[in-house]
Amino acid sequence: MTQLFTRDRFNADFDRIFGGKTLPFKLDGDREPPAHIPKWRINRSNARSIGRKTYMHTKPCSVCGGLERGTWTNKCKGCEA
C-alpha cells in the first residue's frame, strides 16, 4: 500500500513539473467541500496551493466586469493593468 501511494505521488509530482494536468486541491480526500464555503474561496485556495498568480472569481468586477482576480491581492486583474 505504501509503495502504491509513493508511486502515485511520484507520478503526480512528475506530471506537475513536466507539464502534466494538475488536479484541483481538495482537503479530506474525495469529500465535497462544505456548502457554506463560497466557490470563489475554493478557487482562490486551489490557485494558491498550486502557485498560480490569478484565479476566476464568481462575481464580476464592479468597474470593468472582469472575473480574473489576483491570488494574493484579490484585486481585479483587468483594472490593475
The per-residue pLDDT for range 22-74, each reduced to its tens digit, is 566 555 566 777 889 999 998 998 899 888 999 999 999 999 989 999 999 88
**b/e map 15-39, b = 16+ CB within 10 Å:** eeeeeeeeeeeeeeeeeeeeeeeee
Please tell me whether the overall predicted TM-score, pTM, comes out greater than 0.85 for this model: no
Q: Residue 1: its pLDDT value, please? A: 45
Q: What integer pLDDT is reported at residue 60 of this predicted model?
A: 92
Q: What is the Cα–Cα distance from 49 to 28, expressed in whole angstroms?
A: 15
> Helix (H, G, I), strand (E, B), or coil: what is residue 18?
coil
Q: In this predicted structure, what is the pLDDT of residue 27?
A: 55
